[in-house]
Amino acid sequence: AFDLSKITYAQIPLHHWAWLTAVILVVITWAISLSMIYRHLERYDRPDVQRYVVRILFMAPLYALDALLSLTFNNVSPYINVFRDCYEAFTVYNFLKMLFELLGGERAVISLMAAKKQIKMPFPLHWTDPWVMGDEMFYNVKFGVMQYVLVIPVCALATFVSAFAGAYEGSSWYTMDLWIQIVACCSATWAIYCLVTFYMIMHEDLETVTVNPLGKFLVIKGVVFWCFFQHILLQFVLLIGYIPATQQFTAMRLVDAVEQWLICFEMVVLAVCLNLNFPVEEFA
């Protein structure tokens, strides 16, 4: 008869341990996030702002679930990641809308900007003509962020189509994955630059209407930058052939599994950071 007690820890493959820990991490992420979302809905005193906060808080659990599904069903990873990427763009949109609402709406933000002293463009565009404070500054910043909200879903759709056609993955420079990531990288970099510009101009005003605005900015910037450029780095390591294949996995499958496991871990950290930077007491 089969004796379960005779199985030692050493006999359990490493990838099984990795999957089990990923499940635990996802459960922790969902527990933290749902607890915070419930508290916001329970004390829904500022719906004009909290509706954006709740949407932002959903990002960590949805990202974690996507990573776990990708880790479990690798062959469908490019397809389900489409929804993750779209929600990431949706989160950035909601963050910007939340900031506008906190400051009194778009027209109020334009008026606040127009009353401020002209600033130089942040590095590395400090040598260019600055955007005029007021309408020009506001709409350049807004459209700079909104282009990311539009470009990322288009890249996600391109990923879906190219994966379905069998032209997405590979370890060569001409795969669609690389070119999609280049476009997304340029879009993400410009969106972050515009967010930094907005914060430099409005940080004093934001400090009067919200708690720890810098922390909120860093969390959202981290979401866009960290997972995105982590993917770029891992794909570069794969491209140069540094990752060897094993008996169970190809090099590509191994890199993807490592990335998805890291995301499961990072979403616990993100959930905690969101919990600390978007406390319900601030809006109650």
How far is residue 81's CA from residue 67's CA, in Å, rounded to a whole number? 8
Among residues 120, 95, 134, 143, the alpha carbon closest in space to that of 197 is found at 120
For residue 225, the tally of other CB atoms under 10 A from its CB is 15
Q: Which domain holds residue 234?
A: 15-282
Q: Does 7 map to a domain?
A: no
How many domains are contained in the chain? 1
Q: Does 155 map to a domain?
A: yes
Q: Does 1 map to a domain?
A: no
Tens digit of pLDDT per residue, the chain (284 long)? 445 455 454 455 566 788 899 999 999 999 999 999 999 999 999 999 999 999 999 999 999 999 999 888 877 777 788 888 889 889 999 999 999 999 999 999 999 999 999 999 888 888 889 999 999 999 999 999 999 999 988 988 888 888 777 665 554 445 677 788 889 889 988 998 999 999 999 999 999 999 899 999 999 888 877 877 787 788 777 777 666 666 666 777 788 888 899 999 999 999 999 999 999 998 87
Q: Does 180 map to a domain?
A: yes
Q: Does 39 map to a domain?
A: yes
Q: Does 30 map to a domain?
A: yes
CATH number of the domain that residue 190 is part of = 1.20.1070
Structure tokens at 262: 């890291």
Q: Does 239 map to a domain?
A: yes
Across 220-274, where does the E strand assignment appear? none
Q: Does 273 map to a domain?
A: yes
